[in-house]
Amino acid sequence: MSAGNVILTGFMGSGKSTIGRILAKELNTYFIDTDNLIEYFENRSIKEIFEKEGEESFRKKERYCFEWIKNNVKNTVISVGGGFPVFIPEIKEAGVVIYLKVDFDDILKRMSEDEIAKRPLFQDIKKAKELFSKRDNIYRQLADYIIENRDIDGTIKKIKGIIDAS
């Protein structure tokens, strides 16, 4: 793997964590999921943070997480929460950004009821779809590369090609 980090962005349920874990294993490197890292730092779930402190507080925790990663993490595959690039537009300071593009309807098909239930911003499907449309443009603008995430093997092969070329 090149000297930097690979950062996977995309909407909730786009496969960032799944792809990230497999990719890190294949590259023989580390994997970090920022939502899991925040839950670890806070010793509670993202849903609890949203419910007890609100989204603004959660975004501050994401900022702290970003600064920690930027200053301490190298040669790692990083999956960031769906809003991370929206609220931290300087995300590229921490690594190469790859947007895993998945259509909203495909995300809905992929996610179980339990997965939807644990995502605070996915509780109203109509609002979630509007949020998806807004974020899609931001993901595109901030990405170094955009990959249609249709199947795991194909997506990992494309990402490894990007890494090998850099």
- List of domains in the chain: 6-160 (3.40.50.300)
User: What's the average model confidence in pLDDT over 143-164?
Assistant: 92
* Model confidence at 122: pLDDT above 90: no
Q: Do the annotations mark residue 155 as ligand-binding?
A: no
What is the SS3 assignment for the chain?
Answer: CCCCCEEEECCCCCCHHHHHHHHHHHHCCEEEEHHHHHHHHHCCCHHHHHHHHCHHHHHHHHHHHHHHHHHHCCCEEEECCCCHHHHCCCHHHHCEEEEEECCHHHHHHHCCHHHHHCCHHHCCHHHHHHHHHHHHHHHHHHCCEEEECCCHHHHHHHHHHHHHHC
User: Does the annotation flag 35 for ligand binding?
Assistant: yes
pLDDT band at 2 (very low <50, low <70, confident <90, very high): very low
Whether residue 121 has pLDDT greater than 50: yes
8 A C-beta contact, residue 100 and residue 10: yes
Tokens found for residue 148: 């249609």
Question: Is 63 labelled a binding residue?
Answer: no
pLDDT in tens, 39-67: 999 999 988 999 999 999 999 999 999 99
Q: Is 29 annotated as a binding residue?
A: no
pLDDT of residue 21: 97
Q: Is 110 annotated as a binding residue?
A: no
Pairwise CA distance, residues 19 & 151, whole Å:
10
